[in-house]
A and B are shown apart, each in its own frame.
Chain A
Amino acid sequence: MNHTPNVQRPTPKTFASGQLNAEVSAESAQPSLKYRSLKVFCWLLALVAAGIFIYAGAIKMLDPVQFAHDVKNFQILPWPISVALAFYLPWLEIFCGFGLIFRFFSRGAISILTVLIVVFTLATAAAKVRGLDITCGCFGHASQHWSFPAHLATNLGILAALLALWFSNRLARQM
């Protein structure tokens, strides 16, 4: 009575195919682990980059008058444009920062932030070349006494993080 007619005994063929399935799932687990670690890496990188821009944006947003003077001191733009940028740039940094964290238009956010950091770096280098006595307003008063190499190192570090984020995001999408 122990006989169960509907249960098929594993034939050599079905056994072999079961083994094959196990191998396939083991193989497919490999890329998913890679994918997950890449995702975690992207997220951590995005969090750090976003934190920097949200902090920098918030500090400048709280004191747009000081930031307008910081922009003017680069002697690149006329005063009315410096004022307009002093009101606009901090919010752009904040929105892009949150875009990175919450994956809301993150590709757009990365590209805007990359352009911004490149422009900031070029403006700082141009000011140095022209021998201007300027205080960078990048992080409000926190960055007031930064030396030129410190500025450059920070900006290049942020740029590297943004580029790593861009390429790791692309890689994650391809996997």
Chain B
Amino acid sequence: MADLLRRGEVTSRTLTEAHLAPAERQNHALHAWLTIDRERALDEADAADARLAAARAEGVDAAKRLHPLLGIPVALKDLVSIAGGQATAGSRILDGYRSPYDAHITERLRDVGAVVLGKTNMDEFAMGSSTEHSAYGPTSNPWALDRVPGGSSGGSSAAVAAFHVPLGIGTDTGGSIRQPAALCGVVGMKPTYGRVSRYGIVAFASSLDQIGPFARDARDAAALLHVVAGRDDRDSTSAPVPVPDELLALSASNDQAAAWLRGRRLGLPKEYFVAGMEPGVEERVREGVAALEGAGARVEEVSLPHTEYGLATYYIVAPAEASANLARYDGIRYGPRLGDGTVLENYLATRGRGFGAEVKRRIMLGTYALSAGYYDAYYLKAQKVRTLIKQDFDSLWAQGFDALVAPTSPTVAFPFGARMADPVSMYLSDACTLPVNMAGLPGISVPCGLAEGLPVGLQFIGAAWSELELLRLSRAYEAITADAEWRTLEPTDLPRADDPSTPTPTERARAASAGVSQALTSPQAGVLRS
């Protein structure tokens, strides 16, 4: 797309219109988007076309200097601030809130001339693994409309998978980019903690949250990371580490990209093949590993002995930080104010009714874990175990491993309602991703085939600041599997998503919870299959 734009063979306006059309048409069936801003998107596209035309008039060199994302449509998760726009974070408590300023990454995207199509659905305050915890209704998986897209960034991953945008932004606190990327069959990267400034992003758990890209291949993901990464004075946790320009130069040649693998040393952590992993998922992952070995990588089984403690540690640290971060939603300065009594009554009503069930659960957990008498037993203990989890990874880097290869999610996309009754079963969705957040490391999920007709993700994990190597590894994996049949397949249910009479995700989720999902999905239900 970028080349066509630079040569003037297509305009950003045409490209933007071509993406807006399916996004608008399919939002009834997919509900990937909370807002689609056609007018602003077309204005941004026209501005990009003007920059492209000016550069072309200046000559070939000027056109080459343009960032590849100029004029390219992008989706933003609805917790990224755009001045004057909404940022609900999937919550009723931010209903009607208008951001007074642009997030750092919004500024960066504007600077390079990317076109923001709109804001995508998410689990409320990014707490969830299915996007079912959005206060605005769930999102469907483009591969199977009765199934979840993963979460919390399920709107962005579904939008990229459904070709509504080539690129999307998500945030990842325990797997919220990588897990939905795996379940929707796209690429999703969680960069190193501190790689991307979080200024203007709604906070969940501040020692874990990180912003990252969704794309349909490694080169696109690298280009988007290149735009948003880097030090920003307004986020003191954004690190002064240089962002390599090589992110824009990943090899387009499959032979060259695959050659990178020769002699690389990859670790296969045995603990990531957890109990409850679906056999089809394990098969695809092991085939992926075999392909890497076949292309010259040395893969050795390794151990991350504290993996089994990751879940408990995460579900102390993240809720504790969330309970503190979400104290700001008090109905005083912004958002709806409920109750009409004393300050206390207003707080209780505003927060009691403004937050959804999962958010309240996490605030309760966090408040309890931090409360007098329990701090040492829970929060301090978890912070110490966190050290052990990080040391597990550090010892492998010290032994010279270039990266680790593992499953992203133990299962493929699950049906609506399957994990809503039991919070712990939902939490287990992130068993293979959350240790990476605990250790602050970068991780990426790339598609590695289908199981039961649904996408499976392969996860690569690297040392801090090794995003470029992980993207080269991902690019190499794409190169060696370029001829695989599954790469030619498009999401199965996209034709049904075009049907205006197909049920909405909310209707599907309601039907699932009423136990009649069978009727909706059976092939006999011809009305749904125009």
Do these two chains interact? no
Q: A interface vs B, CB < 8 Å?
A: none
* B residues neighboring A (CB under 8 Å): none
